[in-house]
Amino acid sequence: MFTRTESFREFIRFYPIVSIIIAIHLVLYLFTVLPIFPNYWFIETFSGVNLYIKEGEYWRLITPTFMHSGLAHLVFNSFSLLLFGPALERMLGSGKFLVVYLVSGIIANIATLELEPITYTHVGSSGAIFGLFGFYLAIIMFRKSWLSKQNSQIIIVLCAVSLIMTFLQPNINITAHLFGLMAGFAIGAIPYFNKRDFSDSMKSVVNWAESNRKKLSYQSPLKVIIWGAIIIIAILGFLIQR
């Protein structure tokens, strides 16, 4: 579920929203490091600064979700999205997945605005990614048939470790993590999807799995090892980033 076997083209076709978000991460990061805008104009204009939001720059409630403070921050957050986003986008459909992601990120940023000091500045997609974790927890609690027991255990352990590390690591936006998680959980807990929508979604997943059964059954051990290493690195990296 959390390992990818698709080619690059298949990945973009199956998971367009995840692909677009990761592309935006990369483009915006390049804008912050290339000598196109003097004096770090781009990150200064689109990062989350509570003072400026209070003064009416409300786009900063959205744009920080796509900005990152360094290459490691960008890579680890993007890997986390790449690993845990596709399965949820496949389950929900691209439109609903985008709603969960954006609403979780915006709520995390609003909470940061209201609860952190007026001079507080932040960037990063962690709040939105925690929203995905929260939605997974809602699935585990209210829609157990959506996930296997093994995948549910992976999500629970990851969320528990992520929350613990949130309070132990320095320079972490604790408010964004907590409220992003709660926002995703709340969205997932709402009876948002009717049975017919869910049935249609599950049929599409089953049909896709059946059509790719042979391909999935003959993955080389090396490819499995590489993806396993990527998952471990991404999880550890995500936990130590802001």
For residue 30, the one-letter residue type is L
Query: Is 73 labeled as catalytic in the residue annotation?
Result: no
Residue 50: predicted pLDDT: 96
Cα 124 to Cα 3, 90, 221: the distances in Å are: 24, 24, 34
CA dihedral defined by 164, 169, 173, 174, rounded to 10 degrees?
A: 30
- pLDDT tens-digit series, residues 152-198: 888 888 888 888 877 877 778 889 999 999 999 999 988 644 445 54
Is residue 122 within 8 Å of 61, Cβ to Cβ? Answer: no
3-state helix, strand, coil in the chain (%, to 5): 80, 0, 20
Query: Is 177 labeled as catalytic in the residue annotation?
Result: yes
Position 203 pLDDT exceeds 80: no
Position 224 pLDDT exceeds 50: no
Position 233 pLDDT exceeds 50: no
Give Cα 138 distance to the centre of its chain. Answer: 16
The pTM of the full predicted model, rounded to 2 decimals, is 0.77
Residue 199: predicted pLDDT: 52
- C-alpha 88/C-alpha 102 separation (Å) is 14
Is residue 173 within 8 Å of 242, Cβ to Cβ? Answer: yes
Task: Write down the catalytic residue from 177, 204, 211, 217.
Answer: 177
> For residue 67, with 0-12 CB atoms within 10 Å meaning exposed, 13-18 middle and 19 or more buried, which class applies?
buried
Could you give the domains of the chain?
8-240 (1.20.1540.10)
Q: Please identify which residue in the block is written with the tokens 């690591």.
A: 169
- C-alpha 89/C-alpha 47 separation (Å) is 26
Residue 219: both structure tokens together: 């993955």
Task: Write down the catalytic residue from 47, 80, 126, 162.
Answer: 126
